[in-house]
Chain A
């Protein structure tokens, strides 16, 4: 079994609001899969359907080879989940919650529990109500990471963590990958996904608009080129080169974006002007992301209601 999560044509509406509009998502075994999209795109709805909390209106979903609604309890023994907004029982301590969640799943690795508590600098004696948002998040993360579930579903897990703790999280995530476990990591924080994920699916208004490895996605997008040249180039000239966008030029400095297929010719032309300094930057996920949404928003306007 190579695919841990498969959904096809997944639909869900809440009254008149359409949350998912035919969502196709595939997560392969052993990968860290980034599930990327802005707020309200349908990430949490998808996850809640995969966890059997919501029932899909249409389409199919398979989780670890089972039906997430029908086989929920069986499947959940093999899933650890960190919700986007962790709300703890106000009168239970963090330590109690970690133990409770672990025991419900059937036990806990004591050394890993202790290690994680130390790594995340979490005080397990505080009551749920007195934790900050980040610390509540840590409680859920420790419970999930200390489990030996083969699939981890993390819904915006670092939303409340400070940068230091984000690093710790990335380190633990790498460890999870080394163990061969699968992770579905939903996020709107691009840097996080870029650092950790093998493959990414981008969701917008309830459909996946793009899916693939970061390299694959980058092929579709533009590379940023910054160069200093000995012969000044005019903006108009730059703009006439095929595949070049947003050219800027000041004195001997030029700056433009170029389609992946046109990088070679563009560099060759630059060379004709005498390159003295050159930076070529592959697109960050951020640019990729903005571009997706920019294009979608402009080229595919929401169809007006009849």
Chain B
């Protein structure tokens, strides 16, 4: 197995008695697009800021590109190989777009002027405007341009689609695809399920500071099923009789029973047949349903 670009072990951050992130074992593979999904306040930004060495973990440890995140000197070196688009996109407001680009380029030997030119055009950013006077969407695009102008090993984005209109989101997703095709590992947080579902290879779900799911979208599409069944009668022991491996949750209503399965759908349907289910239907489950289920149960 190729070395992970991000790896954490029991990573956690508490503020007093509040646990923002707890016992996090996160692995991000190289060459892939990994989405970091969670509700607002789930701990996504805290995790990302720990990975970047901006805040110190209170428990556990982690590495990014093989370097310890709590090692200050390593973390300075890391910033040359990791590009980051922050949630608030804080930029120097008094500069013009062009000045900020020139200023930022001086820090990075791997700067690509041709990419800057192309993205300025694609994003429709006005070079002479002061950053301060840009709309939120424009600022996001500028922050994105500054990150993409480099050829980082790892690109981390915190809620990059916030404040973008649908066209802006398309541009963003396309840029992520391009970066990945050039060999950059992409790790981005989001609470927008639709954009994640399409573009990501892997999805990690964070809820209340804990990792509640880490799965490839291929596996998810392949094996997650909702199985609806009708039974002639629903005795109390039926639920426990249906507890086959892979059953995530069971809901009942009248004679109907609905099972969410993460795998083994065939075996579960077989069991239901043995238990005299009258009608059995299995349907694929979207990421939205899985996400809501994970967030509600935990």
On whether the two chains bind one another, the answer is no
